[in-house]
A and B are shown apart, each in its own frame.
Chain A
C-alpha cells in the first residue's frame, strides 16, 4: 500500500514540476505573443515604441459591446466612428464621414470618406457603416452601451458613398452620440462569430497584433491608414491595477504612460500631465423629506463648503471648484454666467437661523474606495457643514449598499455624496438623470421636466443651449445639490514621452511623440 502512495506522490511531483516548466513559457502557446523583451533597467525602447499602463484588462476588444474604459483606452486607437470628438473643444467633427447633414427632423445623411481600408485591407463600405449602426441598436445584441444610441431607429444605404440614419424623433445630440459608435467590418464580424472581441479589425491608425491574456495587448501602426502617419509605430498596453505599482514601473522606466496617478505620487513621477477630467463630485440634497426640504438650508449647505480648500488640500491642487454646475466649458449647456457658491460660513449660519433650523439630525451617506478620495471628501464636507451649524451624521456604506440607497427614493437620506460624469458632454445626459423627475437619481419634482424634454428634441443649437442654461440657472438658485469640484486626471509619463492630455479623457497614441 505504501508503494501505491509513493507512486501517487511521485506522479503529483512530476505533474507540478511539468506545470511549472510549462507555465514559465506561456508564449509558446500563443499564436502571436506580445511579450516585452526589454531588460528591466533600460527598456530597449526604439525611438518609436512606447508602453502604456492601464488600470485593468479590457473585458473585450469589441468596441460595440462593453462599457469599459480599459477597453476604450485600446480601441480608441484601433477603431473610428463616422465622427470624432475634438480633443479641446469637445465638439464632434468628421472622421470616417467626410460630411454630414440633417435632412429632416429625424433623418441624417453621412457621406463616407473614400479610400479608407480596414486592417485586413478590405475597403470601408456603406454596408459596413449601416451594419455597425444596426448591430449596436439591435436589442438581441445586448450592447452595454446601447443606451447611448436609444434614439436611433436604423441606418440605411442610400448610394455607394451615402448612408442615412433615421431616429425615432428629433435628436440634436445625434452627432455627439455617433462619436462613440465605432465602425466595424461587416464581413469580419459575421465571419468571426464569438471571437470578434479577441481579434478586432478596425480602420484606425493602429492594429492589434497580439493579446496575451492577463498580461498585455500589443498594437502596431497600420500602414494602410487613410490619415496622417503617427510618429509612434508600436505600443504595448500593460495591465497594472495597483497604483503604486504603476508608479514603480514608471520610476523603473518600464512604462511611458500611466493613467490615474494619485496626487501624492506627483512628486515622484518623472513627468506629469493633467487636465480637467470628467468627474464631478456632488452632494445630493433631499428636498422631498427631512430637514433639507427647506431651500434656505440647501443654499446654506452650498455656502458652508469651502471648495477651494478641498481642491488644494485634499486633491493637492488637482481639482477645481465646479462652476456652480456639473459641466465644464465645452459641454453643451455649460452656463458661463454661473460661478461657484462662495465660501461664507457666516452667511450659512444666518441662513440656518433664518430657516429656523433647530439642530435636527441631517444624515450624510457616502461610500469609500470607488472614486479618488471619496471617503476623505465625505469626512471633510461633514466637518465643514458641522462648522456652519448642521448636525451631520456621516454614514458609510459598501458599494452595493450605497447604490441601493442612491437609486431608491424611499431610502433617500438627507444628503448623499456621489460622483457624476458625463461622457457625452451634453447637458441632456446630466439633467435627464439628476434633474428630470423621471431620472434614476432625480433630485427634483417635475418643475424642469418640460424644458428638459423640449431641449432634448430642439434642433436649433442656440435655442437648445439657451434652454439648458435656464435650467442650469434655476437649479443653481434653488439647489438640490452641493456643487463641489471638477477633478483633474493625472497622468504619469516617462521623460521621453511628449503628449498633451485631451479634454475628453481619450488617450490617442497618434497624438503622442517620443522626444530624446
Chain B
C-alpha cells in the first residue's frame, strides 16, 4: 500500500512537471503576447521595449531554464497583468471555486444517488423513464443557459437571490444549482446503470434467497459494488470542474473563482499566471485521481495495492 502510494505520487510529480513544461512550450509557440498587452497604437519601439522587459527576446532555451528553476522553487514570477506573485493570485481564487464546485457535487450526489437507485430498482417503469430522460436533459443543457434562466426567474423576477456577486448564501445558491445540473445528470445515469447491473448479478439472488431483508441486499451488497463506477465519474468530473469547466457559470454569476481567473488569464496572455494556473490544476487533478483510485479499496476488499 505504502509502496503503491509513493510510486503513484512519483508519477503525479512527473505528470505535473510534464504538463507545466508542455504549457510553457505551447504558450511560447502561440506568439508574442506583446501585441495583446499594448494598445493597437503602440509603436514598434514600444513593442520591442516591452518584449525586452518581459525577457521574451531571449533564446527560448534560457527562458525555459528560468522557468524550470522557478518551478522547482514554486516561483512562477510576477503576473504580467496584475504585478503580483502568480501562484498567490491562483491560490487566492481557488477557495471560491472549491466552495462552489464541492457544494454543487454534494447537492448533485444527494439528489441523484437515491434517484438513480430508485430508477434501477424499478427498471422500465414510468419513474425510471422520467428520471432517465431528466438525467439526459441535465447533461445536455448548457450550464450558462441554466444560470441565465435561474437569474431571470429567481433573481430578477422573484427577487429571492442576487443576480451575481459573492459573499452570502443568497449569492451562492443560484450558481451552485446551475453547476450541479450536469454532475447530477451524470451521477444519476451511472448510478442507475451500475446498480441495475449489480441487481441482475447472481449474488443478489443468493442474498435474497437466503432471506436477507431487501434493504440489506440493496444498500449493503449491491450499492457497495455499484459505488466504484459512480466514484470514478465523480472523481473525473470534479477534477474537470475544478480545472475551469466551471468558467461559464462563474462568468455568468461574476463569481470570483478560478474559472473567471483562467478566462481572464488567457485573454491577457499572461504567461506566468497561465503557467501557475495549469500547475495548480495539474496538482488538483492528479490528487483527485489518486484519491479516487485508493478509494476503490474501501468498497472492494479484493483490490489491494
Chain A residues within 8 Å of B, Cβ to Cβ: 1-2, 4-6, 8-9, 12, 16, 19-20, 22-24, 26-27, 35-36, 40-41, 56-57, 59-60, 65-67, 139, 142, 144, 147, 194, 197, 212-216, 238-242, 244-245, 248-249, 251-252, 254, 399-400, 403-404, 406-407, 418-420, 422, 429-430, 432-433, 438-441
Question: Interface stretch among B31-39, B109-117, B221-229?
Answer: B31-39
Q: Please, how many angstroms separate the alpha-carbon atoms of A251 and B162 in the complex? A: 11
Name the A residues within 8 Å of B151 (CB-CB): 245, 248
Instruction: Decide if A400 touches B260 in the complex (CB within 8 Å).
Output: no
Name the A residues within 8 Å of B252 (CB-CB): 242, 244-245
Instruction: Decide if B98 touches A19 in the complex (CB within 8 Å).
Output: yes
Q: Is B123 an interface residue (CB 8 A)?
A: no
In the complex formed, the residue of B with least CB distance to A34 is: B167
State which residues 161-188 of B face A: CB under 8 Å: 161-167, 169-170, 172
Q: Please, how many angstroms separate the alpha-carbon atoms of A36 and B155 in the complex? A: 16
In the complex formed, the residue of B with least CB distance to A65 is: B83
Besides the known contacts A40-B170, A239-B254, 12 further A-B residue pairs in the complex with CB atoms under 8 A apart: A2-B301, A5-B298, A59-B82, A60-B82, A213-B256, A240-B164, A251-B156, A252-B155, A252-B162, A404-B31, A440-B44, A440-B47
- In the assembled complex, how far is the CB of residue B42 from the closest CB belonging to chain A, in whole angstroms? 6
Pick from A35, A212, A254: contact of B163, CB below 8 A.
A254
Instruction: Decide if A144 touches B37 in the complex (CB within 8 Å).
Output: yes
Q: Is B214 an interface residue (CB 8 A)?
A: no
Give the 3 A-B CB pairs with smallest separation, nearest first. Answer: A214-B256, A41-B159, A23-B99
Instruction: Decide if A40 touches B260 in the complex (CB within 8 Å).
Output: no
Name the B residues within 8 Å of A66 (CB-CB): 81, 83
19 contacts between A and B (CB under 8 A): A4-B1, A5-B297, A9-B298, A19-B102, A20-B102, A24-B172, A40-B170, A59-B83, A213-B93, A240-B164, A249-B164, A252-B155, A400-B35, A407-B35, A419-B40, A433-B41, A433-B42, A440-B42, A440-B43
In the complex formed, the residue of B with least CB distance to A195 is: B84
Q: Please, how many angstroms separate the alpha-carbon atoms of A404 and B33 in the complex? A: 11
Q: Is B280 an interface residue (CB 8 A)?
A: no
Known: A6-B298, A244-B148, A249-B163. A420 touches B40 (CB 8 A): yes
Known: A23-B96, A248-B155, A433-B41. A40 touches B162 (CB 8 A): yes
Select the residue from B36, B162, B164, B304 with max chain A CB neighbours within 10 A: B164
Known: A245-B151, A407-B35, A420-B40. A35 touches B256 (CB 8 A): no
Q: Please, how many angstroms separate the alpha-carbon atoms of A216 and B166 in the complex? A: 9
Instruction: Decide if A23 touches B40 in the complex (CB within 8 Å).
Output: no
Pick from B103, B254, B295: contact of A5, CB below 8 A.
B295
Q: Is B6 an interface residue (CB 8 A)?
A: no
Q: Is B294 an interface residue (CB 8 A)?
A: yes
Instruction: Mark each residue of chain B from 3 to 28: 1 if its CB lies under 8 Å from any CB of chain A, else 0.
Output: 00000000000000000000000000
- In the assembled complex, how far is the CB of residue A435 from the closest CB belonging to chain B, in whole angstroms? 12
Q: Please, how many angstroms separate the alpha-carbon atoms of A393 and B166 in the complex? A: 47
Instruction: Decide if A12 touches B291 in the complex (CB within 8 Å).
Output: yes
Name the A residues within 8 Å of B197 (CB-CB): none
Q: Is B72 an interface residue (CB 8 A)?
A: no
Name the B residues within 8 Å of A441 (CB-CB): 40-41
Count of residues in B whose CB is under 8 Å from the partner chain:
64
Q: Is B92 an interface residue (CB 8 A)?
A: yes
Known: A214-B256, A252-B155. A19 touches B99 (CB 8 A): yes
Q: Please, how many angstroms separate the alpha-carbon atoms of A214 and B83 in the complex? A: 15
Name the A residues within 8 Å of B253 (CB-CB): 245
Instruction: Mark each residue of chain B from 34 to 63: 1 if its CB lies under 8 Å from any CB of chain A, else 0.
Output: 011111111110110100010000000000
Known: A197-B83, A214-B96. A67 touches B39 (CB 8 A): yes
Instruction: Decide if A40 touches B36 in the complex (CB within 8 Å).
Output: no
Instruction: Decide if B81 touches A59 in the complex (CB within 8 Å).
Output: yes
Q: Please, how many angstroms separate the alpha-carbon atoms of A404 and B167 in the complex? A: 42
Pick from B47, B95, B159, B297: contact of A19, CB below 8 A.
B95
Q: Is B264 an interface residue (CB 8 A)?
A: yes
Name the B residues within 8 Å of A439 (CB-CB): 43
Q: Is B138 an interface residue (CB 8 A)?
A: no
Name the B residues within 8 Å of A248 (CB-CB): 148, 151-152, 155-156, 163-164
Q: Please, how many angstroms separate the alpha-carbon atoms of A19 and B242 in the complex? A: 15
Instruction: Decide if B256 touches A60 in the complex (CB within 8 Å).
Output: no
Instruction: Decide if B159 touches A252 in the complex (CB within 8 Å).
Output: yes
In the complex formed, the residue of B with least CB distance to A429 is: B41
Instruction: Mark each residue of chain B from 135 to 161: 1 if its CB lies under 8 Å from any CB of chain A, else 0.
Output: 000000000000010011001100111
